[in-house]
Amino acid sequence: MPLTVLITGASSGIGASAAHAFASRGYRVLLAARSADRLRQRAEGLNADHGEGTARALPLDVTDAEAHARAIADLPPEWAPDVAVLNAGLALRLVPVWENTVEDVDGMVDVNIKGVLNGIRAVVPGMLERGRGHVILLGSTAGHFVYPGGTVYCATKHAVGALALGLKQDLLGTPVRVSLVSPGLVETDFSLVRFGGDRERADAVYADTNALTPEDVAEAIAWVAEQPEHVNVQEVLVTPRVQAAGGAVLRGEDAEGL
């Protein structure tokens, strides 16, 4: 029977590419996010490409702990997740930390930290019962370094790094694996969300440089999941060649050929 992968944040960007990468490798994929229509379209596309029963849309808001737990608990047994890629996340605005509104802070903390904890609570007990599982969290270079205007987002990604380390400690002695995939600059809707839909400002983040594609990160996630059972990759930190993990991104002539 094929393994099932839950992917949160599967309606766009890294999550959508991860769904494609896993479906192409013969896994069943559960696509979770809030945008039900986008998820259904993606699931239909994957089912058309890889066979009926490959993908299933699972509309949910990761900040709603009860709904998240119920959505997983109500799945038929063959759809119980063997791998959970807890990827849903976002940044809101790029401003000095004292200018972040309560809504900014709640938005980032609720999705990036509490949403991940809701995911862990929803999937880990079932994995322990079934005697297998792999939890893969999406960190960031922002979980290693901090850049101006991104303090709250960076703090949430530092927290995700701590959650990955702590979960690994708590699961030691069980068959459940824990990994963290930490990308640098990836061209997705991430900046569009951060800048409240300002397309010009979002595009400028990826202009004149050579960012990672969501497919690059999806390949790293799939590689982590496909290691032999006795191997636990703790973290993959992956940046484009134009980026040093401290935050410096080359642009223009400096980025040519990289």
Taking CB under 6 A as the rule, does residue 35 contact ligand NAP?
A: yes
Which uninterrupted H or E stretch holds 48? helix 36-50
Choices 60-68, 98-106, 118-126, 166-174; region in contact with ligand NAP by CB under 6 A:
60-68
At its nearest, how many Å lie between ligand NAP and the CB of residue 141?
7
Taking CB under 6 A as the rule, does residue 151 contact ligand NAP?
A: no
At its nearest, how many Å lie between ligand NAP and the CB of residue 161?
12
The answer to whether the CB of 126 falls within 8 A of the CB of 80 is: yes
Active site annotation includes 153: yes
Dist CA 236 CA 255 (whole Å) = 23
Among residues 6, 14, 23, 136, the one that binds ligand NAP under rule CB under 6 A: 14
**Which single residue is written with the structure tokens 């990308």?**
183
Taking CB under 6 A as the rule, does residue 118 contact ligand NAP?
A: no
Q: Which of 52, 66, 64 is nearest to 23 (CA)?
A: 52
Dist CA 70 CA 127 (whole Å) = 15
**Could you give phi then psi for residue 75, rounded to 5 degrees?**
-70, 145
Taking CB under 6 A as the rule, does residue 186 contact ligand NAP?
A: yes
Q: Which of 225, 232, 235, 112 is nearest to 173 (CA)?
A: 232
Site string for ligand NAP, 69-108 (x = CB under 6 A): ------------------xxxx------------------
Dist CA 168 CA 191 (whole Å) = 31
Residues in touch with ligand NAP (CB under 6 A): 8-15, 33-35, 61-63, 87-90, 111, 115, 138, 140, 183, 185-186, 188-190, 193, 214
> Which residues are annotated as catalytic?
153
